[in-house]
A and B are shown apart, each in its own frame.
Chain A
Amino acid sequence: MRVLRLGWAYFRVIAANEFQYRVNLVLQLLNSGITLATGIVAISLVFTHTPDLSGWTREELLVVMGLHIAVGGLIGALVRPGMSQFMQEVEEGTFDLALTRPADSQLLVSIRAFRVWQLIDVIVGGLVVAYGATSIEGVGTGRLLAFLAAAAMGVIVLYCLWIMLATTAFRITRADSIFDMFDGMYQAGRWPVSIYPGWLRGTLTFVIPLAFAITVPAETLAARLGPGSLVLGLLVTVAVTALSRFVWLRSIRHYSGASA
C-alpha cells in the first residue's frame, strides 16, 4: 500500500511537470508515427519478396511489431528514465542522497522518474497488435488473456534486466553505453527470434530476454505455444525477479559512495 502511495505521489509531481510541455506530445506523436511507418515499410518490403517469413504470416509479424513498439514505449516511459537518472547520479556522486531517504532504494530508483508522453508508443503499439490480432484466425478471450499475461511477464523480466544492468554503474561508472547496447539489442526484438542464428537466439533468450518479452507473447496469441509455456514463463519471471533483487541488494551493500 505504501508502495502505491509513494508511486502515485511521484507520478503526480512528474506528470504535472511534463504537462507544462504540451508540444512534446506532438513531437512524440510524430516520433511514434515515424517508428510505425518505418516498421510497416520493412514488413511490406519483406512480403513483396516472400509469402511468409520462416512460417510467420504478415499479420503475426504485425503483432510482433506492435508489441515491440508497445513494450519499447513502456520501458522508455517507466523504466529507462529511472535507470538513467540512477546511473548519472552514481557517476556524479549524488546517489548517496537517494540512499538516505526512508524508502527501499530499488523502489525509489524505479519510481522517481518517467516520461509520460512516451506512453503514446504503448497506445500506438497496442493498436497495431489489436489490428494484427483481429486478422489472425481463432483469437478469442482465452488467447488474448494468455497473450496479456505473457506480455506482462516479459515486461517484468525486462525491468529486472534493467535493474541488473544499471548496477554495473557501480563498477564501470561511465555506463551510459549500456543504453546504446540495449537499443541495439532491442531492435532484434522487432522480428521473431526463430529467424536468427543460434548464438543470437541464445543471447536473445537467456541474456537479453527479448524472446521472452516479445516473441513468446506473439506466439501465444498465434496459438503456437500451449498453457505449459505460461507456467514455465511464470517460473522464469519469479526466478529473474529474485535474482535481480539479490543483485541489487548485493551491489548496494558494496557501494561506498563517491562524494558527500
Chain B
Amino acid sequence: MSLLRYYVAEARNGLLHEFQYRVTAFIGLIGFLIEPVVYLAVWRSVAIAQGGAVGDYGLSDLTGYYIAWSLVRAMNLALNPYAWEWRIRGGRLNEFLIRPVHPFHRDFAFFAGQKPIWIVMALPLAAIMWLTFRPDLSFSPFGLLAFSIAIWFAFTMRHMVLFLLGSVNFWTTRTSALFELNVALELMLSGRLVPMSLMPEWVQRVSNFLPFRWTFQFPIEAVIGRLDNTQILFGLGVQVAWILGLTLLIRLVWGRAIKRYTAVGG
C-alpha cells in the first residue's frame, strides 16, 4: 500500500516536472516525433513506386502503422542508460540509495507520471500525419483495449531492459558502444525502422525471441487491426512473460551491482 502511495506521489512529481518545463518537453518531443514521419515518407515512396504496396503493407496500413508508432514511442520512452553513467560517476546515486524504495520504482513511477502529457503532445503530430496522408483504417474495441494495455506493458519492458543496460555502468562506465548497439538492434528488430514483415525471413524469426518487437510492433499491430484476437492475447502473454523474466534478472543483477558501488560526496 505504501508502495502504491509512493508511486502516485512520484508520478505526480514526473507530471509536474513536465508541466514546469513544458517548452523544454515540447521541443524535445518534436525531435522524437520526426522519426516516424521520416520512416513513413521513405516507405510510402517505396510503396508508391511498387504500385501502392510494399510487401503485405498497403499505403493505408503503412500510414496507420507509423501514426500508432508515434504514440507507442511517446509511451515507451524510458530513462536513458546514459543517465546511469552520470549518476554513478558523479556519486549522484547516493540520494536514491538512502530512500527506503528500490531506485527502479523511482524512475519507473517518475516516467509513468510523465506519460499523459507526452501522449497529449504526441496527439497533434498523429493528427497532422493523419490529415497529411489520410489512411483508411478501422479500429475494433478489443484492439483499442489491447493497445491501451500493451503500451503500458511495452513501457514496463523497455524500462526494464534499459535499467539492466544502465546497470552495466556499475562494472564499467565506458558503455556508450553497448548502448549504441542496443539502439541499432532495437531499430532493426523491433519494427521501429520498418514493419518486421518487410525484413528478411530469418530476421523476423530471430526477433520473435527478443524483447524488442514486443515493445514496438506488437502494440502497433494490435491497434491497426493486423492481428486477430488470439494473436493479441498471445502477444499480451508474451509481454507478461518478459516482464516476469526481466524482474528476476533485475533482482539478480542489482544485488550484485550495488555491492560494487562506492561513492564520495554526491
In the complex, what residues of B have CB within 8 A of residue A175's CB? 24, 27
Once bound together, how far apart are the Cα atoms of A190 and B194, in whole Å?
Answer: 15
Residue-wise interface mask of A (1-36) relative to B, using a CB-CB cutoff of 8 A (1 in contact, 0 not): 000000000000000000000011001001100110
Complex: chain B residue closest to A198, CB-CB: B132
Q: How many residues of B contact A (CB 8 A)?
A: 37
B21, B33, B49, B54: the one contacting A184 at CB < 8 Å is: B33
Is B100 an interface residue when CB atoms closer than 8 A count as contact?
no
Is A260 an interface residue when CB atoms closer than 8 A count as contact?
no
Q: How many residues of A contact B (CB 8 A)?
A: 40
Stretch in A46-54, A128-136, A154-162, A249-257 touching the partner? A46-54
Once bound together, how far apart are the Cα atoms of A181 and B23, in whole Å?
Answer: 12
Is B233 an interface residue when CB atoms closer than 8 A count as contact?
no
Residue-wise interface mask of A (169-200) relative to B, using a CB-CB cutoff of 8 A (1 in contact, 0 not): 00010111110111111011011000111011
* Contact (Cβ within 8 A) B181 A49: no
In the complex, what residues of B have CB within 8 A of residue A30's CB? 177, 180-181
Is A37 an interface residue when CB atoms closer than 8 A count as contact?
yes
Residue-wise interface mask of B (182-221) relative to A, using a CB-CB cutoff of 8 A (1 in contact, 0 not): 0010011000011000110000000000000000000000
* Contact (Cβ within 8 A) B27 A177: yes
* Contact (Cβ within 8 A) B27 A178: yes
Complex: chain B residue closest to A41, CB-CB: B188
Once bound together, how far apart are the Cα atoms of A24 and B173, in whole Å?
Answer: 11
Known contacts A46-B42, A49-B50; is-contact A196 B177 (Cβ 8 Å) = no
A185, A199, A200: the one contacting B31 at CB < 8 Å is: A185
In the complex, what residues of A have CB within 8 A of residue B50's CB? 49-50
Once bound together, how far apart are the Cα atoms of A197 and B65, in whole Å?
Answer: 17
Once bound together, how far apart are the Cα atoms of A149 and B180, in whole Å?
Answer: 32
Once bound together, how far apart are the Cα atoms of A174 and B24, in whole Å?
Answer: 7
A35, A51, A187, A199: the one contacting B180 at CB < 8 Å is: A35
In the complex, what residues of A have CB within 8 A of residue B259's CB? none
* Contact (Cβ within 8 A) A182 B31: yes
In the complex, what residues of B have CB within 8 A of residue A232's CB? none
In the complex, what residues of B have CB within 8 A of residue A53's CB? 42, 45-46, 49
Complex: chain A residue closest to B49, CB-CB: A50
Identify 18 new A-B residue pairs, CB closer than 8 A, beyond the known A51-B49, A180-B27, A195-B41: A27-B177, A34-B184, A38-B184, A49-B55, A50-B49, A53-B42, A53-B46, A53-B49, A177-B25, A180-B28, A181-B30, A182-B31, A184-B32, A184-B34, A188-B38, A199-B128, A200-B37, A200-B41
3 smallest CB-CB distances across A and B, nearest first, come from A184-B31, A177-B28, A181-B31
What would 8 A/B residue contacts be, using CB atoms closer than 8 Å? A24-B174, A34-B184, A38-B184, A38-B188, A53-B42, A180-B27, A181-B27, A188-B37
